Structure 1
Amino acid sequence: MGNSPATVTKGETIACNDAKAPRTERGRRTLRKLLDAAAVEFGEKGFHEASVSSITRRAGVALGSFYTYFDSKDALFRALVADMSEKVRTSARSALHDGMDALEIERAALAAFLRFAAEHKEIYRIIDEAEFVDPASYRQHYETIAARITDRLAAGVAAGKFREGLGELEAWALMGMNVFVGLRYVVWGGAEKTPDEVAARVNRLLAEGVLKH
């Protein structure tokens, strides 16, 4: 089994912990097709109703070729969760640039996540299902995101922008807020708020809290 991401195109990677890492560009493209098709299939039908044959049809890949890359539907699902986690990371990172202060970084990272979720609403169903299909993947997904937020908070403290004492607990609280505003305003929709507007409101909450000054 491959344990490192497989490069597809410049700037794009596939998390392959549960995939047999392909050695050719054609193989990497095929793996990408399978993961993309799996995201749609699992997102529409859920893990138990989804089938390998349907995923390969969506991907335009021969059924037998599936096992060149994955040992089972479970392995594909785990790889997909890891792949989505990586996409969340890269979408946030792409929105950041030098010169942003700590609060700007949180706003931009959340806005980028909300835009990603708007284009990939299936991520919520797939990650939620992971709690029961593969609890280790579910936990790793959130622990990885929380660790990144913890690092950002620490950087903000070091820069003198955030108060002392922020750490893992605050990172999990911030992550929970981000996840649920995404659910409400992106997945469920109907609120007519753009990702930037939602991120700005959350950013104001971070900056000002809820107490009347």
Structure 2
Amino acid sequence: MGQRRGRQKGSIGIKSKEAILVIAAEEFAEHGFHQTKVSNIVKRAGLTQPSFYLYFPSKEAIFQELIHTFRNNLINLTKESRLEPNLDKSILSSKISRGLSAIFQFFDEHRHLTRIGFFIADESKEIKQLMVMHITENLLAEQQDNYFRQDLDMQTVAECIIGAIERLTITKLFTDEKSPQQLVNEIVDIYLYGLQNTKSNSSSFGDEGD
């Protein structure tokens, strides 16, 4: 019986698709959408060009799948970072650190995907706006739980946090100057205790991961 034509089934097909996605992410991140060629992707994956079209109808389709994957993961991590009510104030900084650390760790482990979804794609602006929206919702709930000052505009705070994440990812994380945990420790320290030299000993949460 001849081999059945059409989409490959089972683990071989899954591995082929995963290989295409990984290599496509590298190509898009390094060369941009327009300069990336399907022929280069399949050559690096050790596949034929017709094999690519078994899984993706076009270059645009695989680019959109990568963006979709990035957006879903990032928004889920953002939602999960909300602080639960009635936390002991002594563990507040470590709880905030944990949620932010998950985002930076995701960026660090998926650098090509992050370059695409957070910086290269036209949809990156929408993704950041979604993050601002969810962080604002988190902060408003946390403000209501009396974790933070009542006089702050939490949307402004959320915009500042996204700005810090965006900039530090490029200047510190992707240059390997600082680890995800080092960045998290500094951001949480600044946002919780400010720049004045009046910080109490309760802020010394940053030993983990250094």
Shared fold (TM-score, shorter chain, > 0.5):
yes
Distance 2:82 2:98 in 1: 7
Aligned to 2:60: 74
Distance 1:202 1:188 in 2: 18
User: Could you tell me how far 1:51 is from its partner in structure 2?
Assistant: 1.0
* 2:104 paired with 1:114: yes
Distance 1:185 1:59 in 2: 31
C-alpha contact 1:46 1:125 (8 A) present in aligned 2: no
When residues 87 and 59 of structure 1 are mapped into structure 2, their CA distance, relative to the original with a 3 A threshold, is farther
User: Could you tell me how far 1:25 is from its partner in structure 2?
Assistant: 5.9
User: Could you tell me how far 1:62 is from its partner in structure 2?
Assistant: 3.8
Over alpha carbons, which structure has the higher Rg? 2
RMSD of aligned Cα (Å): 3.3
The DSSP-based 3-state class of the residue aligned with 1:160 is coil
* 2:188 paired with 1:203: yes
Distance 2:157 2:167 in 1: 16
Number of residue pairs matched? 185
User: Could you tell me how far 1:171 is from its partner in structure 2?
Assistant: 1.0
| Higher alpha-carbon deviation: 151-160 or 83-92 | 83-92
| Higher alpha-carbon deviation: 52-61 or 154-163 | 52-61
Choose which of 131, 135, 145 in structure 2 pairs with 1:149.
135
Matches within 5 A, 1:52-67: 52-67=38-53
Aligned to 2:4: none
User: Could you tell me how far 1:199 is from its partner in structure 2?
Assistant: 0.7
The DSSP-based 3-state class of the residue aligned with 1:46 is helix
Distance 2:75 2:191 in 1: 21
C-alpha contact 1:115 1:195 (8 A) present in aligned 2: yes
Extract unaligned runs of 5+ from structure 1: 1-21
C-alpha contact 1:114 1:195 (8 A) present in aligned 2: yes
Extract unaligned runs of 5+ from structure 2: 1-6, 199-210
User: Could you tell me how far 1:161 is from its partner in structure 2?
Assistant: 0.2
Task: Give the AA of the match of 2:119.
Answer: D
User: Could you tell me how far 1:74 is from its partner in structure 2?
Assistant: 2.1
Distance 1:166 1:105 in 2: 22
Choose which of 126, 129, 136 in structure 1 pairs with 2:120.
129
Distance 2:74 2:124 in 1: 14
Aligned to 1:14: none
Distance 2:103 2:170 in 1: 11
CA deviations 1:58-86 (Å, max 9, x no partner) are 34444223334433212321221221223
C-alpha contact 2:108 2:174 (8 A) present in aligned 1: yes
* 2:178 paired with 1:177: no
C-alpha contact 1:84 1:123 (8 A) present in aligned 2: yes
C-alpha contact 1:150 1:167 (8 A) present in aligned 2: yes
C-alpha contact 2:29 2:120 (8 A) present in aligned 1: no
- Percent identity of equivalent pairs: 24
When residues 93 and 145 of structure 1 are mapped into structure 2, their CA distance, relative to the original with a 3 A threshold, is closer
Choose which of 31, 51, 55 in structure 1 pairs with 2:37.
51
Task: Give the AA of the match of 1:182.
Answer: T
User: Could you tell me how far 1:95 is from its partner in structure 2?
Assistant: 8.2
Task: Give the AA of the match of 2:44.
Answer: R
Normalising by the residue count of structure 2, what TM-score does the alignment of the two structures yield?
Answer: 0.70
User: Could you tell me how far 1:176 is from its partner in structure 2?
Assistant: 0.8
C-alpha contact 1:70 1:76 (8 A) present in aligned 2: yes
| Higher alpha-carbon deviation: 149-158 or 201-210 | 149-158
